[in-house]
Amino acid sequence: MKIALRAEQDVQYLATFVHGVLAALHALGIAYNVKRRNWFDVAAHSAAMTYDIWATAKHLDALGRLTTPPRITLIKPIQALSKTDFT
């Protein structure tokens, strides 16, 4: 079970990195094509970059669910104000 979880974490790390790099490269493509006034390619790179940013966020969310340990909360009873002496 731990091996499968570790493998899934590794896949999520790799996918997050790849989509992040692709988004950065699409941003460079946008800048290059704006300079050349190639608006069709600007739109194509913008759409692809939007998808890569969305995919990066989804992979980060999945990775957070895999790596975050379950939280154990202790509920302490709140003392009533009548029991507290403020004077």
Confidence band of 7 (pLDDT split at 50, 70, 90): confident
Give 70's Cβ-side CA count (13 Å radius): 1
Taking the C-alpha atoms of residue 12 and residue 77, their distance in angstroms, rounded to an integer, is 40
What is the DSSP secondary structure assignment for residue 37, as one 8-state letter?
A: T
Residue 57 in tokens: 């966020």
Q: How far apart are CA 23 and CA 64, in angstroms?
A: 20
75 SS3 class: coil
* Cβ-based neighbours of 20, under 8 Å, separated by 6 or more: 52, 56
pTM of the model: 0.69
pLDDT attached to residue 63: 83
| Structure confidence at residue 74 (pLDDT) | 59
